[in-house]
Amino acid sequence: MTRRLAWLALGLVVIGALVYGVTDRSTATAHERAQKLGQTIMCPACSGESVADSQAPVAVFIRHQIADMVAKGESDEQIRDSLTAAYGDRIILNPPKSGVAGLVWVLPVAVLVAALAGLVVVFRRWRTPLDAHVTPDDVDAVERARRAEGS
Amino acid sequence: MNVSASLGTLAVALGFASSAVGVITLAMGLRTRQARMLKAGRAYAGMALAAAFLAFVVMERALLAHDFSLRYVANNGSRATPTIYTFASLWGALEGSIILWSLVLTIYTVAVCVRFRERVTDPLVAWATLTMLGVSTFFFALMLGPANPFRVISGLVPADGNGPNPLLQDHPLMAIHPPFLYLGYVGFTVPFAFCVAALVTGRVGEGWLAITRRWTLLAWGFLTVGIVLGAWWSYEVLGWGGFWAWDPVENASFLPWLTGTAYIHSVMVQERRGMLRVWNLSLLLATFSLTILGTFLTRSGVLDSVHSFTQSSIGVWLLSFFGLVVAVSLGLIAWRGDRLRAPGRIDSPLSREGAFLANNVLFAGFAFVVLLGTVFPLVYEALKGDQITVGRPYFDRMTLPIAIALLFIMAVAPVLPWRKASAELLRHRLLWPAWAGAAAIVLAVLAGARGLAPLLAFGLAGFAAGSACRQLVLAARAARRNGASIFGALVGRANGGMVVHLGVIVIAVAFTAATSFSHSNEFRLTEGQTAHIGGHSITYLDTVTKKTARETKITARVKVDGGQVFGPALNQFPNATQTIGTPSVDVGLRRDVYLTFVEAPKTPHGSALIGVVVEPLVSWLWAGGLLMAIGTLLALVPGRRRIPTAPVSEQPVPDRTLTPA
Amino acid sequence: MKRPAVWVTAGIAVVIALLVVVLATRKPATDRLVKSPLVGKDAPAISTTTIDGSSRYALADQQGKWVLVNFFATWCVPCQREHSELVQFANAHAATNDAAVVSVVFSDEVSNVVSYFKQRGGGWPVVRDDNGAIATAWGVARVPESYLVAPNGLVVIKITGGVTDDFLEQQIARLESAK
């Protein structure tokens, strides 16, 4: 009983802390928005670094452009579009979600689902069918044995 | 005649010849069942080692003596480079790194011959040695062909060399990161060789994999340290404040680590229950194949990376070897696979077997995601002609749920018994670890952490740490009961494993903190001006320029928190098209203050652009790596001997040494 | 399923074989020309002052002749190498005025550029681009990169790593005859 209480208390503490910790959300400043966008744009002169991380001259330039466009009030979509117009699709660090490229998002989930399904099938096949039935004779035999032991 | 070149080429040729002849001798010995020939294999392995060592010595001497008549030395050495980097420049570029690979491989081959010398006439050992010599032949052949390190400069010998890539001269970690990585990669050749041997001879059910388990663990340990060192080097040198970018080359080293980790866990199921034999063999074969694929991706130039070596025809050779390895592996599994299926079954998903199975599914999934993300741009471009990028945000998002699930399993699995567990048992055993997890979440919230994913990660990390500590405490009590020292509680596979888990947990906490709660900004400061960020203050003092023959270095002097002065710099090398930044880091126990010099002042005493990142808990990453290394060493020490009457399905290894014909 | 091991390994073999084919047929990173999405489209506008501050330069005013838009920096070694080629090209077309060059400064200081041109010659307009607005509009990743703009204002080629006079003449001749 005390153990159940302990687990219950534990659950309450965890949920309380999580609720407190998750709901405290401040709105993003312009700088933070530009920063977040910058982390999804690749620096075209580097090997996979984002413009937010790279110190290459072109990365500094693109960061300025993003900051300017954010200040002008353009949306994330518009900013991405104007950059891809000049640099091509490869500048967005995330592969597009539609078309053939969308496969890279879909395949891992599909494989995971398939793996889980496979596990379920395999476990079901491993479960030995219960073909033992308890008869009244078995019960008597057990009772006799227990009495014999007790005496 | 160039002495170094001739001697070096002779050494490589000798290595190639002895490996090749060794392969042929062992093959003939196996065919004709002649013990003498099988014993001769050891001699050939020894000769190959001597040859590789000679090549290594010749090249190092040439580098340290600045013998620029060798093309490799002219390209990678220079008089102005400090000695330690000159020594390390052996593995700083393609051809020299193959020398290192061959040396490590021949050392492992000889070690295998020595360890199994009692059974040298056993066909299984012979096949394993044959396989290792075969791989050796390939790498020596690379040095005779596309990656010849001993080519001579045609024409005038230059007075000075180009020096190593500037990024490789920045930090002493460059000297140790590749050797550890190679000790790991090449180490996986040993279990691969024994897998091939076991499959070819059909003798898979005899616990041979258990015997080579220590070798696999050792290679895995080296690879772990190599990867952590690589992340540390990346952090200290590359200047973006991060340590893991899911760069193709980082992924290439991570893939064999993932499959290797899966193997380390699932092999325990094989030992206890005799199951998953085909799966374990496949994991080891895949691990070795991935090291070859990784080598190909790193050196062939098909992917853009900071590690890209210059293009050469080595790509074709490596890709062909990869194809050969995969073909041999798949062929062997197809041939013998059905014979290996064990009749056992896993009774309940809620058991340690079930947890290891889940662990393997997750690690395999993890490897799949990383591999997919790395090669997808190549496949897409081949199909559609357009270029897309799969970058860090993709990997972060896809691997986060897997990492969270793994933390959860790491917490629950150590308390699970074999065969079957009840919810009651779990409730009893997991109570204290669960409170540790709750405490971790509360502490994190109090420390200012916000956000569901990080808090969940911290909580599960605490949970898992509690579980690991519980196991260690129980082991300590058992050791004391049996009269052994407390140290006995730490050695052995299970306990060493718990220490490794603790290392992983420390890394997970550090990773979460550093990536979720860092503050970064750039400040344009005039001399003497101070900026504030993340609870710290930085004051720009001035800029100092130093011109040497090697480089022009412009350093900004920045005072952090009114105390120590740090010097992030911009280096201009005469042959590079861009200036290369050198960050400067104020390392602390709770946080690092990471400074970069973004833009130098345009006028004397003008304003400079200083980048600052305040990252919490970064030094815990390196501490976690150290903990993992210590845990691996503890796990390698033989623990308490298993009670003879405990049920295992590992049969004693029969002695099949050949009787003389 | 009879002998599942064979089927599973066959399936994996097919996937890996495809991967190997893709990897084998891929050209190394250094050889690949980066395709510019600007090719075939209208050239992004350049409308700014030259580095000496004296005059205004607008790319739109150059309609009717071939323009080579060249992004460079004085610290860039391949840029230094291509400079003489640019001088040759500019001089060859100076009389007929059917082709012109304009240089855009990439992450460099005006004083460096002025002395650079004084040393090496070259009388074509040079514009500054301090915050990189022009470079990012043209999709410039590093220097040197040049774009050839046709008389009708469309971008026709992007050249990275340095231009040569011969290459430019070849391309112009090819495109003129194709019209």
pLDDT digits (tens, 9 = 90+) for B210-249: 778 889 999 999 999 999 999 998 898 887 788 898 988 8
pLDDT one-digit tens code per residue, A112-137: 888 888 888 877 777 766 566 778 88
Give B338's contacts in chain C (Cβ within 8 Å).
3-5
CA distance B318 to B221: 25
pLDDT at res. A98: 80
Alpha carbon separation from B127 to B50, B112, B121, B140, B193 (Å, rounded) = 22, 12, 10, 20, 8
User: Which residue has better confidence, B84 or B500?
Assistant: B500
Nearest to A58 among C36, C137, C142 (CB): C142
Q: B532: which strand partners?
A: B537
**Chains near A, with 3+ CB pairs < 8 A?**
B, C
DSSP 8-state secondary structure symbol assigned to residue B594: E
Average pLDDT of span B571-593: 81
Average pLDDT in chain B? 87
Q: What is the mean pLDDT of residues B79-95?
A: 85
Cβ pairs B/C, distance under 8 A:
74
According to the model, what pLDDT value does residue B518 have? 85
Which DSSP state fits B301?
Answer: S
C2-22 pLDDT tens trace: 566 778 888 889 999 988 888
Sheet containing C126-127: order of strands: C126-127, C99-105, C66-72, C145-149, C155-160
Please give the pLDDT value at position B27: 93
Interface check C167 vs B, CB under 8 A: no
What pLDDT score was predicted for residue A28?
A: 62
Q: State both tokens at B151.
A: 């080519």
- Cβ within 8 Å, pair A57-C139: no
Residues of C in contact with B315 (CB under 8 A): 28
Q: Of B117, B140, B141, nearest to B41 (Cα)?
A: B117
Which residue would you say has higher pLDDT here, B578 or C60? C60
Provide the pLDDT for residue B104: 97
ipTM of predicted complex? 0.80
Q: Which residue of C has its CA nearest to A82?
A: C137
CATH superfamily of A28-94: Cytochrome C biogenesis protein (1.10.8.640)
Burial of B623 (0-12, 13-18, 19+ CB in 10 A): middle
Q: Is B303 close to C3, i.e. CB distance below 8 A?
A: no
Instruction: Tell which of B235, B238, B240 to mutate to test the A interface (max A CBs under 10 Å).
Output: B240
Nearest-by-Cβ selection for A96 from B347, B372, B388: B388
Per CB-CB distance under 8 Å, the chain A contacts of B455 are 17-18, 21-22
pLDDT value for B639 = 64
DSSP sequence for B338-404: GGG--------SSSHHHHHHHHHHHHHHHHHHHHHHHHHHHHHHHHHS------HHHHHHHHHHHHH
Residue B651 scores a pLDDT above 50: no
Separation CA B373–CA B368 (nearest Å): 8
Residue of B nearest to C78 (CA): B577
Q: State how far the Cα of B155 lies from the Cα of B151, in Å rounded to an integer.
A: 12
Encode chain C in three state secondary structure: CCCHHHHHHHHHHHHHHHHHHHHHCCCCCCCCCCCCCCCCCECCCCEEEECCCCCEEEHHHHCCCEEEEEEECCCCHHHHHHHHHHHHHHHHCCCCCCEEEEEEECCCCHHHHHHHHHHHCCCCCEECCCCCHHHHHCCCCCCCEEEEECCCCEEEEEEECCCCHHHHHHHHHHHHHHC
**Statement: residue B648 has pLDDT above 50:** no
Q: Output C113 or A151, whichever has higher pLDDT.
A: C113
Model confidence at B660: pLDDT above 60: no
Tens of pLDDT, residues B3-27: 889 999 999 999 999 999 999 999 9
Segments forming the whole domain that contains residue C84: 47-178
- Residue C148 is part of a domain; what is its CATH number? 3.40.30.10
- Distance from the A71 Cα atom to the nearest Cα atom in chain C, whole angstroms: 15
Query: For B46-64, what is the mean pLDDT?
Result: 94
Element (H, E) at B565: strand B565-566
Determine, for residues A57 and C107 on separate chains, whether the beta-carbon distance falls below 8 Å: yes
Residue B525 vs residues A14, A34, B389, B546, B608: alpha-carbon distances, Å: 44, 21, 35, 21, 6
Q: What b/e readout covers C46-59, taking b as 16+ CB neighbours within 10 angstroms?
A: bebebbeeeeebeb
- Chains in contact with B, counting 3 or more C-beta pairs less than 8 Å apart as contact: A, C
* pLDDT score recorded for residue B108: 96
Whether residue B264 is predicted with pLDDT greater than 70 in this model: the reply is: yes
Helix H or strand E encompassing B531: strand B530-533
- Identify whether C38 is part of a domain: no
What local confidence, expressed as pLDDT, does residue B624 receive?
95
Residue C24 lies in a domain: no
Banded pLDDT at B193 (limits 50, 70, 90): very high
CA distance B642 to B294: 38
Structure tokens at B571: 């280096």
Distance in Å, alpha carbon of C15 to nearest chain A alpha carbon: 14
Is the four-CA dihedral A65, A70, A76, A82 of positive or negative sign? negative
Region B39-64: mean pLDDT is 94
Task: Tell me, yes or no, whether C82 lies in a domain.
Answer: yes
Q: Which amino acid is at B517?
A: F
Say what the pLDDT of residue B95 is.
Answer: 87
CA distance B28 to B26: 5
Cβ contact C140–A62 (<8 Å): no
**Span C32-49, average pLDDT:** 81
Sorting pLDDT into bands at 50, 70 and 90, what band is B422? confident
Q: Which of C36, C132, C142 sits opposite A64 (nearest CB)?
A: C132
Is A35's Cβ below 8 Å from some Cβ in B? Answer: yes
Residue B646 is predicted with a pLDDT of: 46
Task: Calculate mean pLDDT across residues B522-533.
Answer: 89
Chain C (87-146) residues lying within 8 Å, Cβ to Cβ, of chain B? 109, 142-143
Of B361, B388, B441, nearest to A14 by CB-CB distance is B441
B361-375, B468-482, C77-91: range with highest mean pLDDT: B361-375
Q: Which residue of B has its CA nearest to C77?
A: B577
The average pLDDT across A79-87 equals: 91
Asked if residue C2 is part of any domain, the answer here is no
pLDDT at residue B411, as a whole number: 94
**What Å distances lie between residue B398 and A94, A107, C33, CA to CA?**
12, 11, 31
* Mean predicted confidence (pLDDT) in B67-88: 86
State how many domains chain C has: 1
Contact B301 C76 (CB under 8 A): no
**pLDDT surpassing 80 at residue B157:** yes
pTM of the model: 0.87
C75 touches chain B (CB under 8 A): yes
pLDDT of C85 over the 50 cut = yes
The Cβ-side half-sphere exposure at B420, using a 13 Å CA radius, reads 5
Residue B38: is its pLDDT beyond 60?
A: yes
- pLDDT in the model for residue B142: 93
**Top-ranked range on mean pLDDT: pick from B324-328, C138-142, C150-154:** B324-328
pLDDT band of C157, cuts 50, 70, 90? confident
pLDDT for residue B408: 95
Q: What is the mean pLDDT of residues A50-59?
A: 84
The full set of domain ranges for chain A reads 28-94, 104-150
State the pLDDT at residue A18.
82
Average the pLDDT over B517-523 and give the result: 85
Nearest CA in chain C to B317: C24
Per-residue pLDDT band for B356 (boundaries 50, 70, 90) equals very high
- Which DSSP string corresponds to B398-435? HHHHHHHHHHHHHHHGGGPPSS---HHHHHHHTHHHHH
Which region holds residue B448: left if phi is over 0, alpha if psi is between -120 and 50, else beta? left
Classify residue C63: in a domain, yes or no. Answer: yes
Instruction: Kindly state whether residue C26 falls inside one of the protein's structural domains.
Output: no
